Amino acid sequence: MVQTTNRFFDEVARLMNDAAGVAQGVRREFETLFRSQAERWLRDLDVVKREEFEAVKDMARLAREENETLKARVAALEAAVAANSAMSGAPSAPPAGGPSPGQTFSASAETPSPNSGPINPGTF
């Protein structure tokens, strides 16, 4: 009798082990199906990937930094032109917003002459 009971428990244990293996297989299949469905939904929604977002964010940061640098350089150049115009007695340059309606813009007042020498960007 002891041998029959052990055989019964062995069969039950094997059946439970097989059932656990089947359950794991079903779980893996469900996860794969769910993941592929979620990826399809995200593709249909046209959601931006994290890597693409970070790349554009870095590009925008660099553009802002360059914009600030160029603003400072333009301000320094305008100040130099204004100082040069004040020394030469020429009329001052138009306001930073550009010429007012009906007013013409003279590029020669704002553009340094070719004889004034190169502008050293490191001095600004």
3-state secondary structure of 98: coil
Query: pLDDT tens for residues 7-24?
Result: 888 888 888 888 888 999
pLDDT tens-digit map of 61-94: 999 999 999 999 999 999 999 999 888 875 555 5
Amino acid at 2: V
**Residues, the chain, total?**
124
The answer to whether residue 123 scores a pLDDT higher than 90 is no
Supply the pTM of this predicted model: 0.39
The pLDDT, as a whole number, for residue 52 is: 93
- The whole-angstrom separation of Cα 79 and Cα 107 is 16
Q: How confident is the model at residue 100 (pLDDT cuts 50, 70, 90)?
A: low
